[in-house]
């Protein structure tokens, strides 16, 4: 394939805020299109607004993209290209297509022609505008920095961008840009305006309508591939009723021209479900690596921790958590030095005196040489029979004694994971509760 035939797409965030859900999805579609077509994916930082652009936002955007696995092939900064924009503006001035503001501010404006402009959108089909209805556009501001529409067109042309994939909130910018392309004599790229992601109440996603920053989802314990999977499903479908799909598997199936026209509402429930699917699908070791920061936050995984113990506790909850945050939270009672009884659980199951039952269990568990779930269950059932009580009668109080909670993993695997020492110690502690 000839180099010049390869498509080139770009994602052009502005470092005046964090990377949010909508931006990440736009980036994802660009990335997928580039990879699907074997083209190049350009990242262009639109930092022309000197006052609002911040290094911390830039770092955050780059970090989020990396975390999501959306790698770029080329990186540009508009702040380093002001010279280029001014040169093109001068050319338009010389050709009489642009003029200087009459207020003497030094701004340069483009004359809008009286004509119809037409977008041939890859998703929407033809869209017509009357350019005569649009007022003359500022190209260079009085501080000599370029406006968005001007820098965008100059760069897309100079960087040989062939397909512009962006949110459909940009549709009304497109006729303005098309006029600039024409004035400059540049060939126009193809446009694909993808639908926006709306918040729960309709309208743009906002902090009110839920989390928007990608870093926030990371902090909540979402897995990057799960988030990417969910974002892919907003406005696109891999077909065959498939819902769980990796970035890798999506690449050969993706084509932006098959994207939807309809805006999608962000649904946290479905994201949570997908995240749970990914957590359950992870091998224990890599999952532990990803969970460590969340455990550390709770003071639960310092360097003294027994890694094998961490892993076995994690396996107990892999099926039960929908986020890493939840996973860490569920693991806490088993990793903490002391059990913290849930007040309601304690009230319900540790208020009657089970000293006789617990001491027998403690003795039988203590005698066990093979401390594995099947053997534990055996001696437990034997003890219950000997005491003349149902297993239910013992299991619930025992669960509270060992975990502080009424809900959790199966009793016998829980005991095996805890190990003999911890189990005996926790039963002993529960018996002290009976005395008070």
Partner RNA sequence: GUCCCCAUCGUCUAGUCUGGUCCAGGACACGAGCUUUUCAAGCUUGCGACACCGGUUCAAAUCCGGUUGGGGACGCCA
The footprint of RNA on residues 57-96 (CB under 7 A) is: none
Q: What is the DSSP string of 295-312?
A: HHHTT---TTS-HHHHHH
Could you tell me which residues are beta bridge partners of residue 264?
197
The answer to whether 289 contacts RNA (rule: CB under 7 A) is: no
The answer to whether 283 contacts RNA (rule: CB under 7 A) is: no
Work out which of 73, 120, 169, 249 binds RNA, going by CB under 7 A. Answer: 169
Span of 246-254, 362-370, 392-400, 420-428 interacting with RNA by CB under 7 A: 392-400
Q: Nearest 5°: phi and psi at 118?
A: -130, 130
Span of 65-73, 100-108, 289-297, 357-365 interacting with RNA by CB under 7 A: 100-108
The answer to whether 347 contacts RNA (rule: CB under 7 A) is: no
Phi and psi based region of residue 203 (left: phi greater than 0; alpha: psi -120 to 50; beta: remaining): left
Q: Least separation, in Å, of the C-beta of 329 and RNA? A: 13
Nearer to RNA, 37 or 322 (CB): 322
The answer to whether 260 contacts RNA (rule: CB under 7 A) is: yes
The answer to whether 412 contacts RNA (rule: CB under 7 A) is: yes
Residue 58 has which token pair?
């830039």
Cα 11 to Cα 249: distance, rounded to the nearest angstrom: 22
Q: Least separation, in Å, of the C-beta of 435 and RNA? A: 26
Nearer to RNA, 14 or 37 (CB): 14
Span of 58-66, 85-93, 147-155, 296-304 interacting with RNA by CB under 7 A: 147-155
Work out which of 127, 311, 368, 424 binds RNA, going by CB under 7 A. Answer: 127
Site size for RNA (CB under 7 A): 77
Beta strands in 160-255, from DSSP E residues, in sequence order: 163-167, 190-194, 197-198
Query: Are 23 and 199 a contacting pair, CB within 8 Å?
Result: no
Other C-beta atoms lying within 10 Å of the C-beta of residue 334: 24
Q: Least separation, in Å, of the C-beta of 229 and RNA? A: 11
Write the burial class of residue 292 (CB in 10 Å: 0-12 exposed, 13-18 middle, 19+ buried): middle
Span of 61-69, 255-263, 303-311, 336-344 interacting with RNA by CB under 7 A: 255-263
The radius of gyration of the chain from alpha carbons, rounded to an integer in Å, stands at 30
Cα 317 to Cα 53: distance, rounded to the nearest angstrom: 43
The answer to whether 281 contacts RNA (rule: CB under 7 A) is: no
Work out which of 188, 215, 329, 391 binds RNA, going by CB under 7 A. Answer: 391
Nearer to RNA, 173 or 215 (CB): 173
The answer to whether 365 contacts RNA (rule: CB under 7 A) is: no
The answer to whether 118 contacts RNA (rule: CB under 7 A) is: no
Q: Nearest 5°: phi and psi at 13?
A: -80, 155
The answer to whether 285 contacts RNA (rule: CB under 7 A) is: no
Q: Least separation, in Å, of the C-beta of 436 and RNA? A: 25
Residue 202 has which token pair?
């309709």
Cα 117 to Cα 132: distance, rounded to the nearest angstrom: 10
Work out which of 237, 312, 325, 329 binds RNA, going by CB under 7 A. Answer: 237
The answer to whether 255 contacts RNA (rule: CB under 7 A) is: no
The answer to whether 282 contacts RNA (rule: CB under 7 A) is: no
Q: Name which of residues 305 to 344 contact RNA (CB under 7 A).
A: 319-320
Q: Are strands 190-194 and 8-11 parallel, antiparallel or unpaired?
A: unpaired
Work out which of 39, 224, 333, 409 binds RNA, going by CB under 7 A. Answer: 409
Cα 44 to Cα 23: distance, rounded to the nearest angstrom: 13
Q: Name which of residues 204 to 223 contact RNA (CB under 7 A).
A: 204
Work out which of 62, 113, 160, 173 binds RNA, going by CB under 7 A. Answer: 173
**137 Cβ contact list (under 8 Å, min separation 6):** 109, 110, 112, 147, 149, 150, 176, 179, 180
Nearer to RNA, 44 or 163 (CB): 44
- CA quadruple 315, 316, 320, 325: dihedral sign: negative
């Amino acid at each position: 394939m000839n180099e010049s035939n390869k498509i080139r797409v770009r994602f052009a965030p502005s470092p005046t805020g964090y990377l949010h859900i909508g931006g990440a999805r736009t980036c994802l579609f660009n990335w997928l299109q580039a990879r699907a077509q074997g083209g190049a994916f350009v990242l262009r930082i639109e930092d022309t607004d000197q006052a609002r652009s911040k290094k911390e936002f830039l770092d955050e955007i780059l970090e989020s993209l990396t975390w999501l696995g959306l790698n770029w092939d080329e990186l540009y900064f508009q702040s380093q290209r002001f010279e280029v924009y001014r040169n093109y503006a001068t050319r338009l001035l010389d050709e009489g297509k642009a003029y200087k503001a009459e207020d003497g501010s030094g701004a340069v404006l483009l004359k809008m022609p009286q004509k119809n402009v037409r977008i041939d959108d890859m998703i929407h089909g033809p869209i017509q505008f009357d350019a005569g209805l649009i007022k003359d556009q500022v190209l260079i501001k009085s501080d000599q920095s370029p406006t968005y529409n001007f820098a965008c067109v100059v760069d897309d042309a100079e960087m040989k961008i062939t397909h512009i994939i962006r949110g459909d909130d940009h549709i009304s910018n497109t006729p303005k840009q098309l006029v600039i392309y024409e004035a400059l004599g540049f060939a126009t790229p193809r446009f694909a305006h993808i639908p926006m992601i709306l918040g729960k109440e309709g309208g743009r996603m906002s902090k009110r309508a839920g989390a928007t920053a990608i870093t926030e989802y990371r902090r909540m314990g979402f897995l990057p591939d799960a988030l990417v999977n969910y974002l892919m499903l907003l406005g696109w479908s891999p077909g065959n009723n498939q819902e769980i799909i990796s970035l890798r598997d999506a690449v050969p199936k993706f084509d932006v021209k098959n994207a939807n026209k309809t805006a999608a509402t962000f649904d946290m429930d479905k994201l949570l479900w997908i995240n749970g699917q990914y957590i359950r699908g992870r091998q224990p070791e890599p999952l532990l690596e990803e969970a460590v920061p969340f455990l550390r936050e709770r003071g639960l995984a310092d360097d003294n921790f027994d890694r094998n113990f961490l892993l076995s506790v994690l396996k107990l909850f892999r099926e039960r958590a929908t986020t890493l945050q939840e996973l860490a939270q569920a693991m806490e009672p088993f990793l903490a030095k002391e059990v913290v009884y849930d007040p309601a659980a304690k009230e319900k199951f540790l208020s009657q005196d089970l000293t006789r039952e617990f001491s027998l269990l403690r003795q039988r568990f203590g005698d066990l040489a093979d401390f594995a779930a099947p053997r534990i269950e055996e001696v437990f059932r034997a003890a219950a029979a000997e005491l003349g009580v149902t297993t239910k009668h013992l299991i619930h109080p025992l669960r509270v004694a060992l975990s502080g909670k009424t809900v959790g993993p199966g009793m016998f695997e829980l005991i095996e994971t805890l190990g003999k020492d911890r189990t005996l110690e926790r039963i002993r502690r529960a018996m002290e509760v009976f005395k008070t």
